[in-house]
Amino acid sequence: MKTAIITGASSGLGREYFKVLTEIYPDIEEFWLVARRENRLRELAESVPNAKCLILPLDLTKTEAVELYRQKLEEKKPEVEILICNAGFGKLGDAVDIPVVDQTDMVTLNCTALTAVTLLTIPYMKKGSSIIEVASIAAFSPTPRMTVYSSTKAYVLSFARGLRRELKEKGINVLAVCPGPMDTEFFDVADAKGRSKLLQIMPRCSVREVAYRSVVQARKGKGVYTNKSIYKFYRILTKLLPDSVTMRKL
Ligand SMILES: NC(=O)c1ccc[n+]([C@@H]2O[C@H](COP(=O)([O-])OP(=O)(O)OC[C@H]3O[C@@H](n4cnc5c(N)ncnc54)[C@H](OP(=O)(O)O)[C@@H]3O)[C@@H](O)[C@H]2O)c1
219 — pLDDT class (breaks 50, 70, 90): very high
Beta bridge partners of 30: 3
Among 5, 6, 11, residue to substitute to test ligand 1 (most atoms within 8 Å of Cβ): 11
31 — pLDDT class (breaks 50, 70, 90): very high
Q: Indicate the DSSP class of residue 23.
A: H
248 — pLDDT class (breaks 50, 70, 90): confident
Among 13, 58, 108, 143, residue to substitute to test ligand 1 (most atoms within 8 Å of Cβ): 13
pLDDT tens-digit readout, 17-27: 999 999 999 99
Which atom in ligand 1 lies closest to the alpha carbon of residue 7?
34
Helices (H), the chain: 12-24, 38-47, 63-76, 100-107, 114-121, 147-167, 186-189, 197-201, 207-219, 229-240, 243-246
Do residues 196 and 94 make contact, with C-beta atoms less than 8 angstroms apart? no
Q: What is the mean pLDDT of residues 37-61?
A: 97
At 193 the pLDDT is 83
Query: Is residue 205's pLDDT more than 90?
Result: yes
Q: Whose CA is nearest to atom 34 of ligand 1?
A: 35
Pairwise CA distance, residues 105 & 100, whole Å: 8
Q: Indicate the DSSP class of residue 193.
A: T
Pairwise CA distance, residues 82 & 89, whole Å: 22
Pairwise CA distance, residues 58 & 225, whole Å: 28
Q: How far is the CA of 109 from the centre of ligand 1 (A)?
A: 10
CB-CB neighbours of 241 under 10 Å: 12
83 — pLDDT class (breaks 50, 70, 90): very high
Does the predicted model carry a pTM greater than 0.85?
Answer: yes
Do residues 54 and 30 make contact, with C-beta atoms less than 8 angstroms apart? yes
Is position 69 annotated as part of the catalytic site? no
Given the residues 149, 155, 225, 231, the one annotated as active site: 149
pLDDT tens-digit readout, 142-165: 999 999 999 999 999 999 999 999
Q: What is the mean pLDDT of residues 64-68?
A: 98
Burial class from Cβ neighbours inside 10 Å (0-12, 13-18, 19+) for residue 189 reads: middle
> Pocket residues for ligand 1 (CB within 6 Å)?
8-14, 35-37, 40, 58-61, 86-90, 109, 134, 136, 179, 181-182, 184-186, 189
Question: What is the percent of the chain where pLDDT is above 70?
Answer: 100
Do residues 33 and 46 make contact, with C-beta atoms less than 8 angstroms apart? no
Pairwise CA distance, residues 127 & 63, whole Å: 29
At 21 the pLDDT is 98
Domains, the chain, with CATH or none: 2-246 (3.40.50.720)
| Mean pLDDT value across the chain | 97
At 225 the pLDDT is 98
Pairwise CA distance, residues 55 & 35, whole Å: 9
